[in-house]
Amino acid sequence: MTRFFLILMIVFAVLAVRTRKLRRAVIHMGVFSLISSFAYLLYSAPDVAIAEAVIGSTLATILYLVALQKYKVFTIYYTNEDASGINDKYISKGRGYILNMIEKFCISRELEPQVIYTTESLEQIISEHQYDLIVRQRDNRAFIYGHKENYQLDSLQEYIYTKRDRDIDFHCVIQKIEEED
């Protein structure tokens, strides 16, 4: 039984180190800590097990997740258009290329990409939601909008133009939005 918990600890430690998304790494570390508290219990150390379960597994995981929620989440609103306008039937059609590039950019900057698929108009998203990027895609064109004070836009534009596949007919336009007060 003890070997089982030790193997699980190794598995979750490796998962926490190897995962590409920060939130998942925090969850894996929380599970690692919970399993280690069971291992302490099996080794007849209930006081250490309780401390590990309360502090390491619960409190630390919650604090990390709250910190990530406040500072590292990069919110991306995504919408796809066909000839008749925004259409939720085609919301995932062709999304792979541009969103994969944006997600790789976010991961390279240690940002957690949170993609929200919507059929709302650009004006609705700007006025009603907090966002870091808005991606509108139509056929092989992507329009990326971001607030004028978003310092990531210039870096994202450089990243897309240097990392894009030259064989794919895809055009990307990045625009800065000035919101009215």
Strand 133-138 and strand 73-82: pairing? parallel
Residue-level pLDDT at 179: 59
Break the chain into its structural domains and give their ranges.
Answer: 2-70, 72-177
Split the chain (181 residues) into runs of 10 and give each run's mean pLDDT.
90 92 88 94 93 91 81 80 48 62 86 86 86 80 80 83 67 67 46
Residue-level pLDDT at 2: 82
Residue-level pLDDT at 14: 96
User: 114-125 as b/e, with b when 16 or more CB fall inside 10 Å?
Assistant: ebeebebeeeeb
User: At which residue do the structure tokens 């994202």 appear?
Assistant: 156
pTM for the full predicted model: 0.56
Residues 6+ apart with CB under 8 A from 176: 145, 146, 147, 148, 150, 153
